[in-house]
């Protein structure tokens, strides 16, 4: 491995395997068609994978409840968001198969689990990835359908089954269809 990065590579039980993956990825990426096109387009090519993680020990953060005095839960098919919720001491609610992070997600199952989670928590952060995915696909029709499903299945169900409180249906970030 290059001296430039050798001191930054992981250590531990799988270090040799990870270093080998980084090395092999250089060979694979070197003449890959995507990189050839990127170079032809004047873009910087990808040169190798760079696996990383949160480190050897978990961060020491105050829980959301300690910090703000409310107990929360997360419903998401996105591992990153579930990890953030765990770090914040929130409950991570797993919705059965069918509740995916994609266009075909079971909106109603997510809504039912959110309502159930409110029996033991003060708030639920329910993340639905479908509108974002539709934007990545460039599909106006799917984006509109995803928003309509959120309105009907999630918003409607929650409004029917939760008395009082605040309900916010909003994006975590914009993903324009263009």
**pLDDT tens, residue by residue, 138-165:** 999 999 999 999 888 888 899 999 988 8
| CA 40 – CA 51 distance, rounded (Å) | 27
Question: How many residues are recorded in the chain?
Answer: 178
175: in domain: no
Domain, as residue range, for 107 = 64-161
- Asked, for residue 128, whether it belongs to a domain, the answer is yes
Of 57, 75, 97, the residue at which a domain comes to its end is 57
pLDDT digits (tens, 9 = 90+) for 84-142: 999 999 999 999 888 888 888 999 999 999 999 999 999 999 999 999 999 999 999 99
Q: Decide which of 76 and 169 is more confident.
A: 76
What's the angle, vertex CA 78, arms to CA 126 and CA 23, rounded to 5?
Answer: 165
Question: Does residue 110 form part of some domain?
Answer: yes
Reported pTM: 0.69
76, 98, 178, 151 alpha-carbon torsion, rounded to 10°: -80
Q: For residues 85 and 39, state if they share a domain.
A: no
- Look up the CATH number of the domain holding residue 137: 3.40.720.10
d(CA 61, CA 44) in angstroms, rounded, equals 37
């Amino acid at each position: 491995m290059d001296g430039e990065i050798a001191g930054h590579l992981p250590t531990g039980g799988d270090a040799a395997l990870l270093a080998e993956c980084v090395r092999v990825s250089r060979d694979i990426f070197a003449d890959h068609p995507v990189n050839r096109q990127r170079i032809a387009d004047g873009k910087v090519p990808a040169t190798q994978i760079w696996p990383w993680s949160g480190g050897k020990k978990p961060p020491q953060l105050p829980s959301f409840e300690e910090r703000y005095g409310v107990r929360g839960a997360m419903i998401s098919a996105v591992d990153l968001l579930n990890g953030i919720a765990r770090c914040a001491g929130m409950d991570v609610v797993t919705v059965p198969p069918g509740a995916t992070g994609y266009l075909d997600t079971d909106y109603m199952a997510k809504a039912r689990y959110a309502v159930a989670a409110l029996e033991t928590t003060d708030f639920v952060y329910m993340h639905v990835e479908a509108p974002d995915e539709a934007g990545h696909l460039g599909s106006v029709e799917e984006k509109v359908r995803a928003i309509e499903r959120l309105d009907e299945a999630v918003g409607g169900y929650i409004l029917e089954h939760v008395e009082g409180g605040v309900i916010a249906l909003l994006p975590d970030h914009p993903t324009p269809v263009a």
